[in-house]
Structures are given as C-alpha cells and as structure tokens.
C-alpha cells in the first residue's frame, strides 16, 4: 500500500477498533496506539521524502498514486506529496498525538469523542495528500463536519450556538469553495479535451483570464474563511472558547492550516493571473487581520478568547506572506503555519489543563500559578515566548522569514505594509506578557488555587511533545526551510510568469 494511503487507512482502522472497546480506558488506549503509529509512519514518510530528494529525485510530487473512482466526471483518487505537504502532515501527526493525550480524561461519551476526533484528523490527512480537487474537497468536508458534533456535544459555555456559528460560517466558506472548484473544473480544458480535477494537469494550462477573475475570489475567500481571514474570522473566538481542549488544539493547530494551504495550492497556483491582480485587496485585509487581531487580544479576559484573537493575528500573517509571492515570503508563510499550529495547540492544551484545575479561564481571577503548578506555568511561558517570537523557538524563524521575504518585494506598497505588519511583534508582546503577568506571576489571587496538582504524566507527554517540536524548529530551522523552498519553486515560478492584466 502507498505510504500516503496508509495515513488515511490507519485512522479509519483506529476508529473501527475503538468501536470494539468499552469505556474511556479502552478508547483512549486504542486512540493513543493508533495515533502513535500514525506519528511513526509520518516520521518514516519524512525521512523517506528527504532521502528521495537527497538521491536527486526532482519530481514535483512524490509517492504518487492514481485511481479513478468516478469515471464520467473524471474524478480520481490522486495523491502525492511535496515537501510542504510532508511538513503539514508532520504537523498534523504531532498535534493529533498531543491532542489524544490532552483528552486523556474525557469521561463523557469517550468512545464517541475519540471517534469524532480521529475522523476529523482523517479528513485533514486526506486533504493534505490529495492532488485531485474533488477528493480534496471531500476530505475537507470530512474534517469540518465532526467539528459541529465535537463542539456541540463536548463543548462548554454556549456550546450549541458556538457550534452552529462555527459550522455555518465554515459551510458558507465551503459553498464558495465549491463554486470555485467547479469553476476551475469547467475551465480546466479551454482547448477542448476532457475536463479534469487534477491539480497538476490544471497547473500546466492557463485558465481563461475571465474565468480566473470570476472564480479566484470564490476559491480564495472560501479557503480564507477557514484561515480566519478578516472579516470572516468571528467564528474563531466563539468556536474555540466553547470547544473542548483537544478540539481547540486540532482546530486551531491543524484545521485552520487547511485554509492557508488551500489558498496557495489551489487558488493561487491554479489561477496565478487573478492572484496577481487581486493580491492587493487581500494584502490589505490580512494586514488588518494581523494588527486588529493582536489589538483585539489585548482587551480580552478569557484565556481562550485571547488565544483565538492571537490566532487571527498569526493566521493573518500566513495569508499575508503567501500573497508576497516570492520564495522567501511563501516559505515564511508555511513556516508560520507550522509554527502557529504547534504553538497554538500547546496554548490550548495548557489552557485546558489550567481550566481543569482552577475552573476558570478568566485572567483577572487567577494569579501566581507559577508557585503552585510550576510545570504548566513554565510551559505556558515557553509557549508565550514562542508566540511573541523569541529566537530559539519556532515563532521567530517564521516571522523573520515572513518579514524579510515581504520586504524584499520591489514594490513600495508591499514594503510599507510589511512595516505595519511587523509592528505586531510589539503588540503581541503586550498581550502575552499581560497574561503571563496576570495568571502566572504575582501573588496568588484565589485561595482555592493554593493547592493545585501539577501536570500528570499524560499532560507532560502532551505538552513536552509540542515544546520539543517548537524548539527543534527554532533551533535548527535550515533543513525545514530549505525543504519548503525547494518545493515552492514551481508555484513561485508560475506566479512570477503570470503577468497581471
């Protein structure tokens, strides 16, 4: 079996195995084993990918496989990965693995919970390996739907309305996306011949300019909604605040990356002329996202809200950097996706663990937690430092690549907005340090918090996995960055060739 297909099969087998378990203990054990194996397979994939590249394989996509499954519409199960997809798959595996351990004590309907969670992950894996637009869309929907149940059933607070808002807004995005994908499909053979969903095939031709101009906004905004593009980001604070820990981790850590990934793999890659023409609109929107999200985070008092707005800011940077359309900028975007995925998953894991102890997420009601739960507090601080871009952790690498890449743009407009966007590093420091100062440092505010239990082994495992990944990228970013850059070449070349009309 193709190693990529196994990435979809293993989660499905895990789900089937969970059906045969009873209660929490069995379900979590099976999930942990399944996702542990998945993590190993991803690692094998990573090393074999690097091995292939080292051996001089220059194919754009490797490990490809192609099966027709709907002949009359020419829909294929066509899979394959490049360095970017491999990196995203690694991110997914790490976050899912950490997520399983973060929900180790999910007592309520535990089997159903783990099944939904892994189903969501299946969709994500499928999305990243797909090279056929229809299959990709299918997996995309597969990832979004379980979210509704996960928030609606296992959530907290106004969970029904949050779940509804999140799902409806994402479904709205899907609707736009579907229009975009069909638009691409029907224009995939302008010179006659069979229509196709195959991304690589479509990338070889030039879609009619009129069609691009019409369908690009649909596709880009469709993916952009999932990537928390301003002003379509408001599902994020509510959704995250109500979602259970592991779901927030997966959603902010991985699912939101589908948006950014789709933006360049589908929208920009297939419709480069329109991308060149309309980039400025989205650059302005993302610039707003970055600054606005950061300022929005300063005022919040709910830990999850703070992190949700912070995600708006950081994900805005992803799309911003993609639109710079040069190697360095786009490399930065992908690094930022990975970095943000790990960081925000870590944050949500910690918030869940802190909430489980203090029973509040209100920053004004906590204080001095460093004294009582030093392990969690120190990890929270590390996550905070990563978020505000401390060298040695992943955030710095990503942000600096974005800034340098964006500033290399020959156009003055791009450089000016880069300066605006760069100012977010200060605002980020303000809200991160505000939270750290309020909840971790200072005297203990609530006497109930004087005797809390520090992290248990599974919590340590979950957070340490993420911290190690964040630090590894931060300390030795070269191999990752080089892998991404070499995979970006075809996309950047295609964008550079497109002359804006």
Partner 1 sequence: MTGYAYTILIPMIPLVMFLVTGLLGMKWKPIVSGLLGTIGMGTSWVLSLITAGSYFFGGHHAEGFQTIIPFETTWLRFTETLHINIGVLLDPISVMMLVVITTISFMVHLYSLGYMKGEKGFARFYAFLSLFTFSMLGLVIATNIFQMYIFWELVGVSSFLLIGFYYTKPSAVAASKKAFIVTRFADLGFLIGILILSFVTGTFDFGKLTEPGTAIFGSAASMSFMGISALTWAMTLIFIGGAGKSAMFPLHIWLPDAMEGPTPVSALIHAATMVVAGVFLVARMFPVIHFQAPDAQEIIGYVGGFTSLFAAVIAITQYDIKRVLAFSTLSQLGYMMLALGVSGYGGEEGLGYMASMFHLFTHAMFKALLFLGAGSIIHAVHSNYMYDMGGLRKYLPITHITFLIACLTIAGVPPLSGFFSKDEILVAALHHNKLLFAVEFLVAGLTAFYMFRLYFSVFWGKDRHYHHTPHESPLTMSIPLMFLAVASVFAGFLPFHHLVTSDKMGFDTEMHMAVAAPSVLIGLFGIAMAWILYKKESAVPEKLAQRWGILYTATYNKFYFDEIYLFVTKKIIFNYISRPIAWFDRHIIDGFMVGIGLVTEKIAYQIKGMQSGQLQHYAFMFVAGTLALALSLVYFLM
User: Which residues contact partner 1 (rule: CB under 8 A)?
Assistant: 164-165, 168-169, 231-232, 234-235, 238, 292, 295-296, 298-300, 327-328, 368, 370-371, 385, 388-392, 396-397, 400-401, 403-405, 407-408, 415, 418-419, 422-423, 425-426, 429-430, 433-434, 437, 440-443, 477-478, 481-482, 485
Rounded to the nearest whole angstrom, what is the least distance from the CB of residue 397 to partner 1 in the complex? 6
Rounded to the nearest whole angstrom, what is the least distance from the CB of residue 197 to partner 1 in the complex? 31
In 3D, which of 300, 275, 314 has the Cα closest to residue 424?
A: 314
Rounded to the nearest whole angstrom, what is the least distance from the CB of residue 433 to partner 1 in the complex? 5
Radius of gyration of the chain (CA): 22
Rounded to the nearest whole angstrom, what is the least distance from the CB of residue 233 to partner 1 in the complex? 8
Query: Considering beta carbons, is residue 127 or 230 the nearer one to partner 1?
Result: 230
- String of DSSP letters for 18-72: HHT--HHHHHHHHHHHHHHHHHHHHHHHHHHHHHHHHTT---SSEEEEEEEEEGG
Helix (H, G, I), strand (E, B) or coil at 155: coil
Instruction: Give Dmax over CA atoms of the chain in angstroms.
Output: 74
Other Cβ atoms within 10 Å of 426 Cβ, number: 10
Rounded to the nearest whole angstrom, what is the least distance from the CB of residue 442 to partner 1 in the complex? 5
Query: Considering beta carbons, is residue 252 or 388 the nearer one to partner 1?
Result: 388
In 3D, which of 471, 468, 469, 456 has the Cα closest to residue 103?
A: 456
Query: Considering beta carbons, is residue 266 or 363 the nearer one to partner 1?
Result: 363
Query: Considering beta carbons, is residue 34 or 389 the nearer one to partner 1?
Result: 389
Rounded to the nearest whole angstrom, what is the least distance from the CB of residue 67 to partner 1 in the complex? 38
How is residue 192 annotated by DSSP? S
Q: What is the rounded CA–CA span in Å between residue 115 and residue 158?
A: 23
In 3D, which of 73, 324, 291 has the Cα closest to residue 195?
A: 73
The CA–CA distances, whole Å, from 157 to 106, 163, 167, 236 equal 17, 11, 17, 15
Helix (H, G, I), strand (E, B) or coil at 79: strand
Query: Considering beta carbons, is residue 316 or 405 the nearer one to partner 1?
Result: 405
Do 249 and 279 meet the contact criterion of CB atoms below 8 Å apart? no
Rounded to the nearest whole angstrom, what is the least distance from the CB of residue 477 to partner 1 in the complex? 5
């Amino acid at each position: 079996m193709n190693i990529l297909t196994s990435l979809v099969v293993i989660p499905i087998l895990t789900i089937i195995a969970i059906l045969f378990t009873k209660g929490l203990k069995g379900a979590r054990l099976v999930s942990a084993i399944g996702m542990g194996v998945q993590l190993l397979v991803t690692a094998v994939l990573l090393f074999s990918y690097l091995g292939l590249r080292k051996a001089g394989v220059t194919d754009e996509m490797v490990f490809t496989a192609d099966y027709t499954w709907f002949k009359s519409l020419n829909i294929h199960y066509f899979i394959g990965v490049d360095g970017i997809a491999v990196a995203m798959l690694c991110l997914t595996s790490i976050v899912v693995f950490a997520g399983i351990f973060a929900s180790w004590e999910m007592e309520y309907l535990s089997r159903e919970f783990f099944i939904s969670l892994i189903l969501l992950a299946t969709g994500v894996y499928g999305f990243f390996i797909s090279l056929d637009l229809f299959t990709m869309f299918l997996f995309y929907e597969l990832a979004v739907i379980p979210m509704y149940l996960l928030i609606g059933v296992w959530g907290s607070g106004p969970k029904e309305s949050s779940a509804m808002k999140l799902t409806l807004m994402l479904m709205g995005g899907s609707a736009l996306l579907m229009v975009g994908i069909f638009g691409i499909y029907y224009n995939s053979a302008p010179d006659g011949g069979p229509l196709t969903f195959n991304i690589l095939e479509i990338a070889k031709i030039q879609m009619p300019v009129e069609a691009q101009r019409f369908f690009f906004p649909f596709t880009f905004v469709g993916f952009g909604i999932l990537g928390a593009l301003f002003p379509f980001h408001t599902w994020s604070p509510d959704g995250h605040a109500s979602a259970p820990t592991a779901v927030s981790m997966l959603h902010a850590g991985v699912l939101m990356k589908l948006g950014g990934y789709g933006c360049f793999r589908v929208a920009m890659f297939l419709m480069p002329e329109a991308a060149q023409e309309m980039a400025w609109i989205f650059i302005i929107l993302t610039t707003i996202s970055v600054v606005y999200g950061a300022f929005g985070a300063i005022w919040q008092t709910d830990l999850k809200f703070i992190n949700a707005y912070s995600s708006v800011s950081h994900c805005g940077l992803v799309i911003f950097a993609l639109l710079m359309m040069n190697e360095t900028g786009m490399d930065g975007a992908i690094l930022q996706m990975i970095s943000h995925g790990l960081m925000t998953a870590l944050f949500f894991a910690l918030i869940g663990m802190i909430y489980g102890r203090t029973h509040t997420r209100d920053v004004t009601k906590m204080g001095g937690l460093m004294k009582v739960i030093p392990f969690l507090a120190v990890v929270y601080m590390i996550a905070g430092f990563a978020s505000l871009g401390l060298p040695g952790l992943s955030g710095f690498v990503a942000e600096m690549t974005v800034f340098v890449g964006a500033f290399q743009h020959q156009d003055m407009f791009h450089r000016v907005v880069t300066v605006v966007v760069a100012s977010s590093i200060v605002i980020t420091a303000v809200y991160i340090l505000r939270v750290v100062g309020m909840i971790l440092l200072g005297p203990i505010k609530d006497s109930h918090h004087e005797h809390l239990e520090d992290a248990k082994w599974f919590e340590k495992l979950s957070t340490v996995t993420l911290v190690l990944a964040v630090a590894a990228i931060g300390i030795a970013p070269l191999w990752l960055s080089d892998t991404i850059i070499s995979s970006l070449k075809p996309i950047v070349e295609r964008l550079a060739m497109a002359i804006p009309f």
